Structure 1
Amino acid sequence: MEIRYLFFFFFYAVMKICFATNTLTSYQSIIDHDNTTLSSSENIFELGFFSPGDSKYRYLGIWYKRTPDVIVWVANRNNPLADYFGELRISNKSNQLVLLNSSKIIIWSSNSWSEGTEKNIVAQLLDSGNLVLKDMNSMNSEQYLWQSFDFPTDTQLPGMKLGWDSKSGLNRYLTSWKSADNPSEGGFTYRMATYGIPQGVLAEGSIIKFRTGEWNGVRFSGVQLLTSNNNTLNFTVSINENESYYLCEPAANLRFTARLTLNHSGILERLVLEDRSTQWSIMYSRPYEPCDTYGYCGVNGICKINGDPICDCLEGFTPRSQRCWDVLNLSKGCKRKTPLNCQTKYGFVKVAGVKLPNLLNFRLDKNMSLEECELSCLKNCSCSAYARSDIRHGRSGCLMWFDNLIDVRVFSVKGSDQDLYIKLSASEIKSTRVAKRRKTLKVIVIGSVITSLCVLALVLWCIIQRPRKLKVRAQRIDECIKLPLFDLAEISAATNNFSPENILGVGGFGPVYKGNLSTGLEIAVKRLSKESQQGAKEFKNEVDLIAKLQHKNLVALLGCCIQGDDRMLIYEYLPNKSLDYFIFERQKSSWISWENSFDIVIGIAKGLMYLHHDSKLQIIHRDLKAGNILLDSNMTPKISDFGLARIFEGDERETTTRRVVGTYGYMSPEYAVDGIFSVKSDVFSFGVLLLEIVSGEKN
């Protein structure tokens, strides 16, 4: 009897030790009410039962052990458990993973059925986050009977393929949760469309919301960050007779974790987690701006995010309804000025640096050169445009479109080397060239006159101002308006020579670095980037305004640095970063109580009241958003980033601009559409911000 008890105790101890590993055998179970879980060997991922948010239902899922609120895979997402009596085990009859409820009824299985009980089947949670089922007696231990990576939910992990497996018939794609508390299948999907050339397509039901553009051998033509030689992420697209897929992995020399998640609002987010951190950061999200929205400018339209207006017709096209176009109803799109036919002589105009049109009615020839592609399109009466399908060295492949062109946008950054050639009649091309020559000539004449006048004015100025040379020099230095001037060497030393490790964030002005002066004072250094669309005007604007403003709910400007081409603003360092770090993630939002949130709202309102009514100058901020609200060590809010602010003088109550700047989602309708802004514009932005704080949801 004692030997039996000793054997039982030994068997129980072995079972407990086994559960500390990453493997589940056919003699073990993971039981919900026992709080048993399975961890990967390096304790990166954990498998077990959970209830999301305020849900009363139970699900079997996988999460990051360091950030357990981030669920990356759910087994029974459409068939939850109603109580805490779920059990995961390996079926001896079918050699598959099964999830049983309290009545021992199977509510989910791995669908990896195979006959016989002689196999040594185990389930293993890998450090990649992949739950696999394999036969330990098999010669190839890496050949899985089943794996969770073949059945993704809303998250793509590094090494997980999205796309088709022709042998098994699997189509791997992401499906959003129904809500933050309900992991059942929502209305949004993100999948690889592999007809012709792979591209990522985000859809709500059958309606396309966003697409990455076609893979051109280096990147997806519509997403600048997704390149095969990215410094932080390695992207792979493979097409062969067995499978067509896309995957992404962090570069080997970088120490961070990355994931791609399709959230319940239909936003695709690439998130990263640095080593030893518990806070995820958003690297990018799509759709992010209007031009990301599928077909935003209608058929045969082209979207230019920095354009005024943002939408235009492609060259050789005109709005189908000018009246609709004038009121920004772009759904009807554009039509050809001269319809295609077989009797007209044609040529092509090049539109450089674009996201190629969607592949609706097209033809692909991977072996054709660009010259052969042009000739082929000319010979075909229905061909409306062509492009190179592969922009790598050798530049081969031919894409031809027939009928309408949809979802074309222009990029204004380096590396946008995807060109589209649009077919137009020879007469249209000639008139276009004549118009361009006239425009160029006009610019040259006007430029010459202006240059001559400027030279004359400069000569006169030099004659008049020569005695005051020293005074002028002092005025140039006085660009910082009585603010302390910091030396470039001092700022460089404080930021460790502007080390990437010191970057706090990147905005429209440029990167912001954390620095430590020799006095021990912590500072935030906002450095104007050479690639920034903002420049000296915004720099001087921010200096002019903040130097004259003093309020506890406005960020304090300590000084500036003007040396050579460098333009830098030196601010007080605020350790709690910006408000968006706290309100848009469930874990971090719980760190702020309702009392804190109320105080933050009141603080922002006081700062706005000062700008609009209490300061000597009435100032309209024009870019009030969560990212521009900084928090000090006491969580006191401080409004920052005055580069786009405007001063109202005298009885001025509102004004109009053709250059609409700011952040979409926070702009008032009259400002976004007609360029009209006033105090009310900031109040509208404050209202949006207030709703975001209360709901925890991004607009």
Structure 2
Amino acid sequence: MNLMENPLKASTKMCLLLFYSSLLLIIAAVFSTADDATSTFQSIADGQTIVSDGGTFELGFFSPGALKNRYVGIWYKKISVTTIVWVANRDTPLTDSSGVLKVTNPGLLVLLSHNMSTVWSSNTSRTAQNPVARLLDSGNLVVMDGSDVDPENYLWQSFDYPGDTFLPGAKLGRNTVTGFNWHFRSWKSPQDPSHGNYTYQLGPKGYAEKFVREGSVIKFRSGPWTGVHFQFSGTPQLNTSPIYTYSLVSEPDEIYYSYKLHNNSILSRVVLTSDGIVRRYTWIDRTKGWLLQLIAQIDNCDNYALCGVYGACNIEKAPVCSCLKGFKPKYPKEWDLVDWSNGCVRNAPLNCSGDVFKQYSGIKLPSTEQSWHNISMNLKECEMVCAKNCSCTAYTNLDFRDGGSGCLMWYGDLIDIRYFAENGQDIYIRMAASELDHVDDTKINAQYSESNVKKMRIIVTSTVLSTGLLILGLALLYVWKKKRQKDGKVRSNQKEDLELPLFDLSDVVCATSDFSNHNKLGEGGFGSVYKGTLKDGQEIAVKRLSKHSRQGFNELKNEVTHIAKLQHRNLVKLLGCCIQEDEMMLIYEFMPNKSLDFFIFDQRKNTLLDWPKRFEIINGIARGLLYLHQDSRLRVIHRDLKAGNILLDGEFNAKISDFGLARSFGGNETRAKTKKVVGTYGYMSPEYAIDGCYSIKSDVYSFGVMVLEIVNGKRNRGFSHPGHNLNLLGHAWNLYTEGMSIELLDTSVGDSSNQHEVLRSIHVGLLCVQRNPANRPSMPAAVLMLSGESALPQPQKPGFYSERVLDDNNVDPCANEATFSANDVSYSLFEAR
């Protein structure tokens, strides 16, 4: 009897569950007044959808990624890539497909589970006679009274409670009367819509500026609204666009930031991603994908308060932080250790009545949390008011259009300042009178009287004679030094061009134990790399130019020129250089885990890189390349991307290194041609290796090779397989065409792999190594492909499908010289035809 009791109970419960589920669906169908052709409804069940008036958006139930949880959300209807723009029950998912979204009589929009319990509801405060819900073609889900003559008198709207997506027409701001705040919050992860750690909002106080916060900590600040080109002070890249127009609305009861599209047929959205980055995407019909158009945080200087109070960040300098003129580091020792958080202090204290205002130009205006503004005052009136208030530390225009208008004044210390080469603003900072140069040269000359002429003649004559003797002595010294050490002289004169901190040779020798073999980390085309420890305990990596290397000062200067002006979490950090006597060296931050090839190509060490680490390395390299190609001040093509040039920090985060062969472009340039082909065979794209044509798509090809190497654990060059003579790219292509791509995965990763991520990585890698550069994705597209869930285009056969051995007896007939080595050292002087 006991053996039969539990199965009977289970069967009874199952029948009841099926009965109630069916009844729930019937009730939903009875109450529903909508189908796929209308935007107004009172109830929809899981499996049904509502389409907006113009067919742009769709409302329904969905499950993100591979999760089984069910959510109510809104997504784009017209495109093939599922893109969620709003989620109702972010933190309270349904666990089955029996949910119902309905409008109740008081005017509440509620989500019910299978047992009719409320999972989520709107917070409508008013009642209605005939409440209905409607999905507008703006993507706004509204609850309204069907009997109300005013169609926009909404009881509730989703635009008041946005998720991670900022749609055209939505608001980012606050109601100054009620305190209500329109803000955005990131997803927890790309597959988890629950509330993440980052918020995007207009500041709760001060003049209008946007903030990204991680919890309560400010990570990014846009700077105040300037009006020029409809942009904020710290985001000059968000310029006038033919696609959209920004606006700031300031009214007595509310202030908010918004944007609208010039053409409503274009799909464009702003997203606060799960990593806290604000990105704008625009849908491209031709490629059937989202194009990453803009990123708010473009470089290291966008990290909030990086240089502390009265410190200013300049991404074109190294180090990036310096004190404003008239200020000095508060703690000089910390400043020397690249800790700028405590900022700067005044050289001379203020005394209020005798203070003056010094103009600083081309900057991002400081945080306005402690500020006051007036729209009717002019700049002169603003100065007068600020001067009379001893607590006022700076002032400027409120709006910079048409010569400037209004008044914006700061109280307290100034923080989060940076310099811009273009499109920066002017600010007038209160200073002690002793900090200004009151007298100019023309006034000094005018004060000379006739009685001083003779004295001046004597002084000038003596100066000329002394100068002549000094020049003669210097000339003799120059000839002597030139004979003694010509190369050292040239290098000494070239130090000034590098714009980097210079390390003393004796300090580097001491740090590396006189370049001992015990401290040697590796060797490349430039020379050897050594680990060192400075006197203050900081660990460094020293790249020392070999006296026998064919690379020299030009390559060293090229690397410094590019990497010193680039700041990104996935680029190696250059600390300085040493050019002294016969030595030329670059000093980098130390990477304890060496380079990527040190792990993935070693049968013992590759087990330390499980799949999550490998996938994060792939994404890290992609983010670094995206920065180089699109978001950096320069458009940089690396030209020598390979596993050996990807360094790994203590947590195995990838950092791109070795910019000795890099080239940068200005404006809209993206490609060039050269007769001198440089790079590493196995990673070079066909159009570059054969014809000397390089572009950002050349780097994309190299990235694709690395992706497949990271997945497989073997080098592309020299890859062997018992079943064919193809290289790694050809092997990956064969497996893909046979539907067996998963077999490419390195067996050493064990059970740590995520099959979806592995297959997607292989697919993206094959797209990147296609022969035709036009068919390869851009890095923004590749980044999206790696993290997305949408269908990917079909790749074509890779370039360099099979290995072509290049040795002394089989060199390209157009080449004058070629040098290759077994360890993939970079080569150059390979003339393209």
TM-score by length of 2: 0.54
**May I ask how many residue pairs the two structures share in their alignment?**
505
Aligned to 1:237, which of 248, 269, 272?
A: 248
Aligned to 1:22, which of 4, 26, 38?
A: 38
Mapped pair 1:210 → 2:220: yes
CA distance in 1, matches of 2:177, 2:370: 28
Shift of 1:208: 0.6
Counterpart residue number, 2:372: 363
Cα–Cα, structure 1 residues 226 and 75, in superposed 2: closer, same or farther, change >3 Å?
same
Counterpart residue number, 1:188: 198
Counterpart residue number, 1:299: 309
Q: Describe the superposition over 1:385-411 as per-residue Cα deviations: whole angstroms up to 9, x where unpaired.
A: 211111122522122223311001111
Counterpart AA for 1:21: A
Q: Is the 8 A contact 2:298 2:632 kept in 1?
A: no
Shift of 1:150: 1.1
Aligned to 1:72, which of 69, 82, 85?
A: 85
Aligned to 1:225, which of 237, 251, 254?
A: 237
CA distance in 2, matches of 1:385, 1:426: 15
Counterpart residue number, 1:99: 111
Counterpart residue number, 1:200: 210
Q: Describe the superposition over 1:70-106 as per-residue Cα deviations: whole angstroms up to 9, x where unpaired.
A: 21111111222122211011113x2321110111011
Counterpart residue number, 1:48: 60
CA distance in 1, matches of 2:398, 2:155: 37
TM-score by length of 1: 0.63
1:236 alignment partner, SS class: strand
1:28-39 equivalences under 5 Å are 29-32=43-46, 35-39=47-51
Counterpart residue number, 2:391: 382
Aligned to 1:350, which of 359, 363, 368?
A: 359
Q: Describe the superposition over 1:97-154 as per-residue Cα deviations: whole angstroms up to 9, x where unpaired.
A: 11101110112122225446xx333211111111112222221223222111111011
Counterpart AA for 1:634: K
Shift of 1:369: 1.4
1:271 alignment partner, SS class: strand
Q: Is the 8 A contact 2:207 2:371 kept in 1?
A: no
Cα–Cα, structure 1 residues 133 and 626, in superposed 2: closer, same or farther, change >3 Å?
closer
Cα–Cα, structure 1 residues 382 and 602, in superposed 2: closer, same or farther, change >3 Å?
closer
Higher relative contact order structure (alpha carbons within 8 Å, sequence separation ≥ 6) = 2
1:586-605 equivalences under 5 Å are 593=759, 596=762
Counterpart AA for 2:762: N
Counterpart residue number, 2:173: 163
Cα–Cα, structure 1 residues 255 and 592, in superposed 2: closer, same or farther, change >3 Å?
farther
Counterpart residue number, 1:400: 409
Shift of 1:298: 1.1
Counterpart AA for 2:339: N
Shift of 1:15: 9.0
Aligned to 1:250, which of 261, 273, 279?
A: 261
Aligned to 1:320, which of 316, 319, 330?
A: 330
Q: Is the 8 A contact 1:349 1:429 kept in 2?
A: yes
1:213 alignment partner, SS class: strand
Q: Describe the superposition over 1:507-538 as per-residue Cα deviations: whole angstroms up to 9, x where unpaired.
A: 866699xxxxxxxxxxxxx9986658x99xx9
Counterpart AA for 1:72: V
Aligned to 2:435, which of 428, 433, 441?
A: 428
Shift of 1:212: 0.8
Counterpart AA for 1:267: I
Shift of 1:552: 5.2
Shift of 1:573: 7.6
Counterpart residue number, 2:120: 108
Counterpart residue number, 1:668: none
Counterpart residue number, 2:189: 179
CA distance in 1, matches of 2:329, 2:393: 17
Cα–Cα, structure 1 residues 98 and 13, in superposed 2: closer, same or farther, change >3 Å?
closer
Counterpart AA for 1:389: L
Of structures 1 and 2, the larger Rg is shown by 2
Q: Is the 8 A contact 1:600 1:637 kept in 2?
A: no
Counterpart residue number, 1:85: 98
Q: Is the 8 A contact 2:634 2:666 kept in 1?
A: no
Shift of 1:44: 1.8
2:402 alignment partner, SS class: coil
Counterpart residue number, 1:132: 142
Cα–Cα, structure 1 residues 311 and 147, in superposed 2: closer, same or farther, change >3 Å?
same
Shift of 1:62: 0.8
CA distance in 2, matches of 1:157, 1:282: 15
Cα–Cα, structure 1 residues 289 and 681, in superposed 2: closer, same or farther, change >3 Å?
farther
Shift of 1:267: 1.2
Q: Is the 8 A contact 1:349 1:422 kept in 2?
A: yes
Cα–Cα, structure 1 residues 339 and 591, in superposed 2: closer, same or farther, change >3 Å?
same
Aligned to 2:320, which of 285, 310, 316?
A: 310
Counterpart residue number, 1:482: none
CA distance in 1, matches of 2:143, 2:702: 44
CA distance in 2, matches of 1:85, 1:312: 60
Cα–Cα, structure 1 residues 31 and 399, in superposed 2: closer, same or farther, change >3 Å?
same
1:235 alignment partner, SS class: strand
CA distance in 1, matches of 2:303, 2:272: 16
Aligned to 2:72, which of 45, 48, 60?
A: 60
Q: Is the 8 A contact 2:206 2:370 kept in 1?
A: no
Counterpart AA for 2:186: S
Q: Is the 8 A contact 1:50 1:61 kept in 2?
A: yes
CA distance in 2, matches of 1:572, 1:162: 35
Q: Describe the superposition over 1:537-565 as per-residue Cα deviations: whole angstroms up to 9, x where unpaired.
A: x97xx83542x66845313457999xxxx
2:386 alignment partner, SS class: helix
Shift of 1:356: 0.5
2:173 alignment partner, SS class: strand
CA distance in 2, matches of 1:163, 1:594: 39
Shift of 1:359: 1.5
CA distance in 2, matches of 1:239, 1:154: 24
Counterpart residue number, 1:553: 683
Shift of 1:36: 0.9
Q: Describe the superposition over 1:596-622 as per-residue Cα deviations: whole angstroms up to 9, x where unpaired.
A: 369779999xxxxxxxxxxxxxxxxxx
Counterpart AA for 1:249: K
CA distance in 1, matches of 2:825, 2:199: 38
1:250-289 equivalences under 5 Å are 250-252=261-263, 256-275=266-285, 277-289=287-299
CA distance in 2, matches of 1:51, 1:337: 60
Compare 312-321 and 101-110 and name the one that shifted more. Answer: 101-110
CA distance in 2, matches of 1:151, 1:602: 39
Compare 349-358 and 13-22 and name the one that shifted more. Answer: 13-22
1:69 alignment partner, SS class: coil
Q: Which runs of 5+ in 1 are unaligned?
A: 1-10, 438-444, 450-503, 513-525, 562-567, 584-588, 605-622, 639-648, 651-678, 683-699
Cα–Cα, structure 1 residues 122 and 21, in superposed 2: closer, same or farther, change >3 Å?
farther
Q: Is the 8 A contact 1:255 1:274 kept in 2?
A: no
CA distance in 2, matches of 1:409, 1:318: 16
CA distance in 1, matches of 2:764, 2:145: 57
Shift of 1:576: 8.7
Q: Is the 8 A contact 1:574 1:632 kept in 2?
A: no
2:333 alignment partner, SS class: helix
CA distance in 2, matches of 1:507, 1:150: 35
Q: Is the 8 A contact 1:364 1:398 kept in 2?
A: yes
**Percentage of identical aligned residues:** 36
RMSD (CA atoms)? 4.6
Q: Is the 8 A contact 1:133 1:144 kept in 2?
A: yes
